[in-house]
Structure 1
């Protein structure tokens, strides 16, 4: 009887552990399927499926718009000229860095380059703003990756078959002009969901390094500066000030945003910050000891802050 009781106890433990493992796997699978959604991609791939859930295409014919994209090879971005001819484009080749990061003269229109191959797409985005700040910049700027579509490369694009072409074609340009900044990723997973771990990329120290010496109000003596970041003293749902960041140097700032560094910004919103802000932020990318993946990920969670979106609960 004693042996039977021992075997029974072992069985209970095994069953309990098995159920726990299954529950964890189901939770992870649900989270991953919501993020990557392979089933929808399969259905959209069927020849008889409806490829677009949107209304008629909304093109920015009445506005001046430009697409800014980093790439390695021209053939990666041929889809922009072929399928979005109504948009201007600025293609940056990040494998051919220029020698002078402080050169503000008109860039080579045939082969735009960045001062260094650092920070992934963030280096290209900031370099475009810096080089074109006084030209002026078109009314709407769409910052995207070089991929046209595809499940493995473009899983984060929220359109049928993860198509950047469809995403840009259906961009509500008037909404961008009204709000100033729009993340092209509507799905909040990964980045904002409850299952998401605390942001391990944006620490108090990193926050200070990026926003110090900028016109962000929490770091500026000018009370009339652009309201990109507000005081941290009244609500934990506001972005941290310089004083708050001082006590968070080794801690993670609880900041979340939908991934994945593809967004649209109005020129008006870009000009809410002086050129020197973008130079300082890019200098952080140039100077940081973080590798490309990590420095680029830091910026991925900060674009909405840079372009004036307020903190929300």
Structure 2
């Protein structure tokens, strides 16, 4: 055999082997699309849990939906929320404010996980008093690139929001309708469990979006699997397959019905918040942490993982399993159905949430021209607050 022919055969064999390896690594381990993401089972080894400091005054018996606001001092003046008090029972948490050990009101145990710490603290410390009208969860800045309007004004969006209509579909709704900067579009990003996502995370360790996507499968398994002892039989998989994607709207602003909150026990929210705290090296809350399963130490990554979690927790998935009395006990979550519910058509969403119906220019499921424009570099001009207030 000539040397050139032999070399070509070796190259072909090498290429075929590499191709087979790529296909093998990207295969789905199972054809099942049902996942056991129904109950938070994370187990902390911390000996000290945070005390109650996050109760919202006057919430018990309120006929208005709660509006949980997660802010930091850098968000600026919070006076814009006063105009919304006729519509909502406003509960404002300032994550970087000094803790008052004598107060039980509107404080968080640590500035960790971005908005998630305030959201979870509200759910834990006000669990029994969630209003029958539900609750909304938003960020503390009035003007932000992710607020779904041409002027990016959350005050106007919240004033127009029809909470009851938003909750009628599945008991949960993200406040964004436009699909830009989200995982709703199949072409937006590769599946979180894919080989491409894992490689990209290694090549771009500074990229919080890519790193958090790569960390999501393991985080879901740790949160919903725990030590595995409490998993129901036949409840589905824990780990995302190589071709499975969790589709979701960005940016962790949403409304949720009371019964959707109560489909999980208070202890589950405690465990979820402790997952965040256990991953922090400077929270000062825990003496011992379960570092292997706890949240990533990078706060941007931990917070972004939780932004994928809210709709998994709150969207109604099916009838409760009568064999299991746990509030969150369902037979399993159907990923395809979850993705469909998480990413409604933009025109339907604008009509349902904000009363903007019969829109023109809706040339794709996730886009209605003239309703929202993604600003350059995801940033509003520095003088935006001054010029638009």
Alpha-carbon distance change, 174 to 83 in structure 1, aligned in 2, over 3 angstroms: closer
> Secondary structure of 1:175's partner?
helix
Q: Deviations over 1:105-145 (max 9, x none)?
A: x9633xx1111111000111011000000234452211000
Question: Paired residue for 1:108, among 75, 88, 104?
Answer: 104
| RMSD of aligned Cα (Å) | 3.1
Alpha-carbon distance change, 108 to 258 in structure 1, aligned in 2, over 3 angstroms: same
- In structure 1, stretches of 5+ residues that fail to align are 1-61, 101-105, 224-229, 232-240
What CA distance in whole angstroms lies between the structure 1 residues aligned with 2:114 and 2:100?
A: 18
Runs of 4+ in 1 over 4 A off after TM superposition: 97-100
1:311 counterpart = 2:302: no
1:197 counterpart = 2:198: no
Distance apart, 1:99 and its partner CA:
9.2
Distance apart, 1:83 and its partner CA:
4.4
What CA distance in whole angstroms lies between the structure 2 residues aligned with 1:276 and 1:213?
A: 14
Residues 119-268 of structure 1 mapped to structure 2, 5 A cutoff? 119-149=113-143, 154-178=144-168, 179-191=170-182, 192-198=184-190, 199=192, 200-213=213-226, 220-221=231-232, 231=236, 241-242=237-238, 245=239, 254-268=245-259
8 Å Cα contact 2:124-2:270 kept in structure 1:
yes
What CA distance in whole angstroms lies between the structure 1 residues aligned with 2:265 and 2:79?
A: 33
Distance apart, 1:96 and its partner CA:
3.4
Alpha-carbon distance change, 172 to 82 in structure 1, aligned in 2, over 3 angstroms: closer
| Aligned twin of 2:49 | none
What CA distance in whole angstroms lies between the structure 2 residues aligned with 1:261 and 1:274?
A: 21
> Secondary structure of 2:151's partner?
helix
Distance apart, 1:168 and its partner CA:
1.1
Distance apart, 1:170 and its partner CA:
1.9
8 Å Cα contact 1:201-1:298 kept in structure 2:
no
Alpha-carbon distance change, 84 to 134 in structure 1, aligned in 2, over 3 angstroms: closer
Distance apart, 1:166 and its partner CA:
1.7
Distance apart, 1:93 and its partner CA:
1.6
| Aligned twin of 2:93 | 92
Alpha-carbon distance change, 99 to 256 in structure 1, aligned in 2, over 3 angstroms: farther
8 Å Cα contact 2:87-2:159 kept in structure 1:
no
Q: Deviations over 1:196-255 (max 9, x none)?
A: 2224245321111122349xxxx74389xxxxxx63xxxxxxxxx23xx1x86xx68521
Distance apart, 1:80 and its partner CA:
0.8
Alpha-carbon distance change, 222 to 212 in structure 1, aligned in 2, over 3 angstroms: same
> Secondary structure of 1:70's partner?
strand
Higher relative contact order (CA 8 A, sep 6+): 2
What CA distance in whole angstroms lies between the structure 2 residues aligned with 1:157 and 1:259?
A: 10
Question: Paired residue for 1:302, among 300, 303, 309?
Answer: 309
| Aligned twin of 1:70 | 70
- TM-score, structure 1 length as denominator? 0.61
Distance apart, 1:160 and its partner CA:
3.2
- In structure 2, stretches of 5+ residues that fail to align are 1-61, 193-212, 279-294, 317-336, 341-389
| Aligned twin of 1:292 | 299
| Aligned twin of 1:59 | none
What CA distance in whole angstroms lies between the structure 2 residues aligned with 1:252 and 1:282?
A: 29
